[in-house]
Amino acid sequence: MNKYFLLVLSITLIVTCENDVNEVERVTRFENPLQEIASDIEILYSEEGDVKAKLLAPEMTKNSEGKPYTEFNKGLNVYILDKNKKVTTELSANYGIKYDKDDTTVISQNVKVINKIDGLTLETEKLTRNDKTGELHTDAFVKITTETQVIKGMGLTANEDFSSYKMDSVQGYVSIFDTEIPTN
């Protein structure tokens, strides 16, 4: 009798536990199987065990199809750290994209870089980074603010921490600190 009861119970469960095919398809369907999306991102970049930078973003999309890229379409903040883990440079922007195969990162829309050591602030709408060399470049309008001056121009090339930079088409007042003027 127990065997028959278990058999009837098993058949009843199998028949009554039917899933709606549309519901199963909706739950298991992927819009883009080669795309990963993550929220509340914190990424630490390190070299030889030392943390060099921290990236924070509300959302990150990683796409492996075609030309692979990682996108931060809801903004990002990057903090460059010294060997004592103090923030030396801050970068913020409303958008960023890293092209994996090209070793290129493009930061755009309200880009602001603050060098806390020199007190230098850079503002632009687009900044491209060569991930192999660390060189930064833009052809867009640039505004650099220091404690004593505001420099505006079109285009810029700089090293990663902005300790050295070259601007094209400079506009504004620039202080010259050398007291010797070369005579030829």
Res 25 pLDDT > 70: no
- Please choose, from the candidates 114, 163, 168, the residue with its C-alpha nearest in 3D space to the C-alpha of residue 137: 168
Q: Which residues of 29-60 are buried (b: 16+ CB within 10 A; e: fewer)?
A: eeeeeeeeeeeeeeeeeeeeeeeebbbebeeb
Share of the chain above pLDDT 70, in %: 75
| Reported pTM | 0.73
CATH H-level, domain 36-172: superfamily: Lipopolysaccharide (LPS) transport protein A like domain (2.60.450.10)
More confident residue, 45 or 29: 45
Res 100 pLDDT > 70: yes
Say how many residues make up the chain: 184
Q: Can you tell me the mean pLDDT for 169-174?
A: 74
Cα–Cα distance for residue pair 177/58, rounded to 1 Å = 43
- Please choose, from the candidates 105, 123, 124, the residue with its C-alpha nearest in 3D space to the C-alpha of residue 114: 123
Q: Which residues of 130-157 are buried (b: 16+ CB within 10 A; e: fewer)?
A: eeeeeebebeebbebeeeeeebebebbe
Helix (H, G, I), strand (E, B) or coil at 148: coil
